[in-house]
Amino acid sequence: MPSRNNNQSTPKLLSLATAVPKFIMRQSDIESFGAGIFSDRASNFSRMRGIYANAGVETRYSCVEMEWYAHDHGWPERNKLYVENAVSLLRETALSCLEKAGLQCGDIDGLVTVSTTGIATPSLDALLMNELPFRSDVQRLPVFGLGCAGGVLGLSRAASLARAQPGSRWMVLVVEICGLTFRNRDKSKSNIVGTALFGDGAAGAIISSQSAGGDGDYSFEFSGEHLWPDTLDIMGWQLRDDGLGVLFHRDIPDLVRRDMGPAAHAFLTRHGLSLNAIDDFVVHPGGAKVIDAMMEAFNAPAVAFDDARAILRDFGNMSAATVLFVLERTLARGATGRLLLSALGPGFTAAFLTMNRSPS
């Protein structure tokens, strides 16, 4: 690792970037598509059809055209598309992060790469390093299985690593190709819900424990997580012959409304904080009902979740990448003070991270 000034080890955000694939899909078109796909379960689909209007989603992005979803595809084909598109989006995101930070690939000391919607061995970071000139001694941490919580936890892991190695620069890369998990022979309610929510996207950030900051000099403070026991059936993937099948429990909003507040309170209390110390909430918008439940859990006004609702509306649920889209929007509107990032993922797991704007 290059020699650097080690007097300052507080991790700071240098840059943040997002990317989406080229195919845009509108909710009204997806609803019509779903009616055709699920026509053999017309009564069940009819009862659930309101989810398209109530999901809070207007547009999403996909790495394949809508017609692709109408046909059968095996696991090898799906995963090949996942790897190709994930690396492409990560490349775009990494280059954007570097440009915004005024850095080169050789300036990065470590990569934390997060994804749960496909399998890559060699890992995505290794594949990316064969396309971009990162140093051969870059430290790598590929992270799999955290689902929607992966964005917050990916930032947390990178910040911890930057803090442990003063003067280092870490790039966090998050990509989820959620659309490819749709299987047209799966007539379950979870699969129908997935068609109303999921989109594809990638996001990235550069975190440094050098003294110089960026993006309003936002520093990373505290991170933590909470896993509820006996909740393995709440959220996740079920591996099938033709791909990954989504698992959603219908009680997720109720669980959030009842249990998220105490978990957040316990996390903040451990670090001498309370919800009153939070100036902005940067939450993963799992769906419109989940945002409503978060609002109640945090006892916060509806306006506090405008950024989350806007990202859900324009991009859908991109799993782990989504919260970084929300963070980008929050910072772009000039947010000041302390931020609380939060997300929920399989396990059933809550992830928390606080960021604070350094005094000028």
Using the structure block, give the residue that is written with the tokens 């309170």: 265
Q: What is the DSSP string of 128-179?
A: HHTTS---TT-EEEEE-S-GGGHHHHHHHHHHHHHHHSTT-EEEEEEEEEGG
**Domain extents for the chain?**
12-208, 218-357
Residues forming a β-bridge with 18 = 203
CA distance 264 to 202: 26
CA distance 312 to 301: 18
pLDDT at 4: 41
CB proximity list for 132: less than 8 A, separation 6 or greater? 91, 94, 95, 105
Q: Which CATH superfamily is domain 218-357 in?
A: Thiolase/Chalcone synthase (3.40.47.10)
Structure pTM?
0.91
Q: Which of 27, 131, 119, 137 is nearest to 89 (CA)?
A: 131
122 CB neighbour count, 10 Å cutoff: 11
350 burial via Cβ count (<10 Å: 0-12, 13-18, 19+): buried
CB proximity list for 354: less than 8 A, separation 6 or greater? 220, 221, 222, 223, 268, 271, 273, 278, 338, 339, 340, 341
Q: Do domains 12-208 and 218-357 have the same CATH topology?
A: yes
pLDDT at 215: 43
Amino acid at 241: D
Q: Which of 151, 197, 157 is nearest to 174 (CA)?
A: 151
Sign of dihedral through CA atoms 235, 280, 332, 209?
negative
- Please write down the HEC assignment for all residues of 274-331: CHHHCCEEEECCCCHHHHHHHHHHCCCCHHHHHHHHHHHHHHCECHHHHHHHHHHHHH
Q: Which of 183, 185, 194 is nearest to 318 (CA)?
A: 194
pLDDT at 52: 85
pLDDT one digit per residue (tens) for the chain, 360 residues:
433 434 458 899 999 999 999 999 999 898 888 777 777 665 666 777 778 888 889 999 999 999 898 888 888 999 999 999 999 999 999 999 999 999 999 999 999 999 999 999 999 999 999 999 999 999 999 999 999 999 999 999 999 999 999 999 999 999 999 999 887 777 677 777 778 889 999 999 999 998 654 444 899 999 999 998 888 777 777 777 776 777 667 778 888 888 999 999 999 999 999 999 999 999 999 888 899 999 999 999 999 999 999 999 999 999 999 999 999 999 999 888 999 999 998 888 999 999 998 654
224 CB neighbour count, 10 Å cutoff: 19
User: Are 274 and 268 contacting, i.e. CB atoms less than 8 angstroms apart?
Assistant: yes
200 CB neighbour count, 10 Å cutoff: 30
Q: Which residues belong to the active site? A: 148
pLDDT at 237: 75
Q: Which of 56, 67, 62 is nearest to 32 (CA)?
A: 67
pLDDT at 214: 45
Q: Which of 60, 117, 81, 47 is nearest to 285 (CA)?
A: 60
Q: Which CATH superfamily is domain 12-208 in?
A: Thiolase/Chalcone synthase (3.40.47.10)
Q: Which of 316, 321, 293, 322 is nearest to 57 (CA)?
A: 316
Record the tokens describing residue 331, joined without a space: 């910072």
pLDDT at 338: 95
